[in-house]
Amino acid sequence: MAKVGLPRFRIRKPRRFSRRPKPGFVVAGKIWLEKDGELYLGWGRAILLERIDQYGSIAAAARSMKLAYRNAWLWVEAMNRLAPSPLVEKKSGGRSGGSARLTEEGRKALNQYKALRAKFEEFLQQVQP
């Protein structure tokens, strides 16, 4: 009979920061876009769109981010559903495999998010105590 036991869990070491934290208070924040209370576009999804544009494939983009393909696919589906028109055009795989490309709407949304994020970063720098 096989020995049945509890699954092994790894004890995680505390995270170490690559830079020293500044003493005192720091104003920090993240920015993302929502539609009807659902995440539309954030930093991770923006990176995914860039990588899809770069590699021409959702699978390759997900691999480059060390992201599960299913999660990447779900993110693309959510963005396409929430956008006025699809951000990513997909072609099903076959012998040569599938492909994906950013639409004009996708490029526009990505550029708008990058501009918004740059303004937000600038704002954070201005309000530092």
> pLDDT (tens digit, 9 = 90+) per residue, 11-25?
555 555 556 666 788
Instruction: Give the structural domain span for 81.
Output: 39-87+98-126
Instruction: Note whether residue 57 is domain-resident.
Output: yes
d(CA 98, CA 107): 20
Question: What average pLDDT does the segment 82-87 reach?
Answer: 96
Q: Kindly tell me if the per-residue pLDDT of 110 is higher than 90.
A: yes
This prediction's pTM: 0.79
Q: Kindly tell me if the per-residue pLDDT of 128 is higher than 60.
A: yes
Instruction: Note whether residue 58 is domain-resident.
Output: yes
The larger pLDDT score, comparing residue 16 to residue 91, is at 91
- Of 108, 107, 105, the residue nearest 84 (C-alpha): 105
Instruction: Note whether residue 61 is domain-resident.
Output: yes
Instruction: Note whether residue 51 is domain-resident.
Output: yes
Question: What average pLDDT does the segment 41-61 reach?
Answer: 95
| CATH code for the domain in which residue 112 is found | 1.10.10.10
Q: How far is CA 100 from CA 21, 77, 79, 82, 116, in A?
A: 40, 12, 14, 18, 25
Instruction: Note whether residue 27 is domain-resident.
Output: no
Instruction: Note whether residue 26 is domain-resident.
Output: no
Count of structural domains, the chain: 1
Instruction: Supply the pLDDT for residue 2.
Output: 52
Instruction: Note whether residue 48 is domain-resident.
Output: yes
Instruction: Note whether residue 74 is domain-resident.
Output: yes
